[in-house]
């Protein structure tokens, strides 16, 4: 829409809700000015307002009443009851009346600070009385809605299954009534452009739900925090309690799914760095890039050595009584392939896949592989893990070793238990060849993004849950490690 516009000002109102009406005043005047210059006689105009307490807003509304046959205030059912949003419906534009009004150029001048077009004596008392009645009506509705919301919040209605069931039924009844009244029918499954992913999306949205930013006073208080204090404060409100997660969890039914039938290579633009992931909280990525934006020269994070990590995992495997034997379990430390620190994610993914193919070629039957700190943030790496487990190994164990005193020492691992068969069909090698060919033919501009449909990766409730929780803990610990690496040494 703005391709041919040389310069465009975009208005954002945030951080000062108490002054919303004053702050958007110029925007409303410009909207009216644009409408008056475009409308023909008899035309209609819809203007969105908030509160109508200030003189310039009252003056503007009276101007509209003079230029249109009728104006009505309307709050649609889709507008939240708790906000002050109101729509002014102006019908029957009297274009000839514009010339009879005051000179509007001054009022619409962006340099002019005083946008009160008319004085108090120019506006009839009858108009002010009607406007007052309308404002009072909407204000009472808003107060009632806010009070009800506060009451429901205190009652914690979600904890009562019967109340939740009643609300769900009410929502369903309203949906069916709307469909019936509007004569709407669902699109047949055979005509859908995208498959019905309602259940999958519901699970994903449950894990990465709505972001609550707190009350206005709480947001103001955060403005005085340092970056480190702000990050720690935000992390405290994100429900990622790594220390509460089980250290080991198992999935043993992936081999029952015929993944070969669902293999579909999706190609797209190469990833140099990750901005988000469907397998992790978006809020954590936001905090990570807050740090990276403010600090271009972050210090190196001090971590364990590769040998130290291996020994720690081996000792935990023994203490947790996991089915393993040090002689038949191959350990691969993949920390260097971390998507959060690797300069080119697309190269890291190919290197990781090639390493796994080489390892499988020499791995004896019934032996296992422990993958320490394998990256699980992209569809490609999760697809690779699922193919390995579902087609070649008996089961998969998810390991999470948390160290609250030193986040940089926290690690995770994937134990692919007991190799059952070799990749005789060369499926993984085919994926690697396609990946490499895409990079070479596009000069590193295109690669394979996924091997399996994202819905399949998310439909298995345990798989998605375990991967999601591991990634959240990894990202949270990485953020804490960045903060600690920047902290000045104690004197």
Q: Is the dihedral of CA 19, 20, 24, 25 positive or negative?
A: negative
Annotate 398-409 with three-state secondary structure: EEEECCCCCHHH
Ramachandran quadrant class, 483 (left: phi over 0; alpha: psi -120 to 50; beta: rest)? alpha
**Pairwise CA distance, residues 167 & 161, whole Å:** 10
Residue 425 tokens, joined = 């069909």
From 476, 283, 456, select the one nearest 379 (Cα to Cα): 456
Active-site annotation, residues: 48
Distances (CA, A) of 101 to 77, 165, 296, 417: 35, 57, 57, 83
Cβ atoms of 390 and 259 closer than 8 Å = yes
DSSP 71-110: EEEE--TTS-TTS--EEEEEEEE-GGGTTTS---HHHH-T
Distance from first CA to last CA of the chain, Å, rounded?
58
Tokens of 202: 């519901």
**DSSP tally for the chain: helices H, then strands E:** 16, 10
Residue 450: burial class (beta carbons within 10 Å; 0-12, 13-18, 19+): buried
The DSSP annotation for 99-164 comes to TTS---HHHH-TT-S----S-GGGS-HHHHHHHHHHHHHHHHHHHHHHHHHHHHHHHTGGG-HHHH
Give the residues across from 86 on adjacent strands. 49
* Phi, psi angles (nearest 5°) of residue 369: -130, 130
| Integer CA distances (angstroms), 282 to 169, 233, 274, 460, 483, in order | 31, 16, 11, 21, 19
Is the Cβ–Cβ distance between 8 and 2 less than 8 Å?
A: yes
H-only helix segments in 295-449: 306-319, 345-362, 379-392, 427-441
Distance (Å) of CA 67 to CA 56, 89, 270: 17, 12, 56
Q: Which helix (H) or strand (E) holds 248?
A: strand 248-251
Of residues 86, 199, 200, 98, the one with CA closest to residue 139 = 86
Rounded to whole angstroms, the Cα distance separating 20 from 370 reads 57
Helix or strand (DSSP H, E) at 47? strand 45-49
């Amino acid at each position: 829409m703005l391709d041919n516009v040389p310069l465009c000002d975009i208005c954002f109102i945030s951080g000062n809700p108490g002054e919303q009406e004053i702050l958007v005043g110029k925007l409303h005047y410009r909207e009216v000015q644009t409408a008056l210059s475009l409308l023909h006689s008899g035309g209609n105009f819809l203007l969105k307002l908030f509160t109508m307490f200030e003189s310039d807003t009252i003056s503007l509304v009276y101007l509209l009443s003079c230029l249109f046959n009728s104006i009505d205030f309307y709050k649609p059912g889709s507008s939240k009851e708790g906000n002050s949003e109101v729509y002014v419906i102006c019908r029957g534009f009297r274009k000839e009346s514009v010339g009879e009004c005051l000179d509007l150029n001054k009022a619409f001048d962006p340099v002019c600070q005083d946008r009160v077009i008319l004085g108090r004596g120019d506006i009839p008392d009858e108009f002010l009385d009607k406007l007052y009645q309308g404002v009072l009506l909407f204000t009472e509705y808003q107060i009632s809605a806010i009070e009800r919301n506060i009451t429901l919040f205190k009652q914690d209605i979600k904890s009562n299954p019967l109340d939740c069931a009643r609300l769900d039924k009410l929502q369903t009844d309203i949906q069916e009534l709307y469909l019936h009244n509007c004569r709407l029918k669902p699109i047949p499954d055979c005509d859908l452009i995208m498959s019905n992913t309602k259940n999958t999306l519901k699970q994903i949205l449950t894990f990465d739900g709505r972001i609550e930013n707190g009350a206005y006073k709480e947001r103001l208080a955060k403005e005085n925090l340092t970056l480190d204090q702000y990050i720690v404060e935000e992390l405290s409100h994100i429900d990622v309690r790594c220390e509460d997660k089980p250290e080991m969890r198992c999935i043993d039914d992936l081999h029952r799914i015929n993944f070969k039938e669902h293999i579909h290579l999706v190609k797209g633009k190469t990833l140099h760095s990750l901005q988000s992931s469907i397998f992790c909280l978006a809020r954590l990525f936001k905090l990570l890039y807050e740090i990276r934006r403010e600090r271009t020269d972050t210090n190196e994070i001090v971590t364990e050595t590769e040998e130290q990590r291996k020994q720690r995992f081996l000792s935990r495997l023994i203490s947790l009584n996991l089915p393993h034997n040090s002689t038949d379990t191959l350990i691969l430390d993949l920390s260097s392939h971390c998507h959060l620190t690797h300069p080119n994610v697309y190269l890291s993914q190919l290197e990781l896949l090639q390493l796994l193919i080489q390892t499988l070629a020499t791995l004896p039957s019934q032996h296992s592989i422990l993958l320490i700190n394998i990256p699980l943030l992209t569809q490609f790496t999760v697809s690779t893990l699922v193919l390995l487990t579902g087609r070649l190994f008996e089961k998969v164990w998810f390991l999470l070793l948390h160290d609250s005193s030193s986040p940089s020492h926290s690690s995770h691992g994937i134990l692919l238990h007991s190799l059952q068969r070799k990749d005789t069909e060369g499926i993984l090698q085919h994926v690697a060849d396609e990946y490499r060919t895409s990079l070479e033919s596009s000069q590193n501009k295109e690669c394979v993004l996924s091997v399996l449909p994202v819905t399949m990766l998310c439909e298995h409730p345990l798989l998605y849950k375990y991967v999601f929780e591991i990634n959240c803990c990894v990202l949270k610990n990485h953020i804490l490690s960045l903060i600690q690496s920047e902290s000045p040494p104690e004197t």
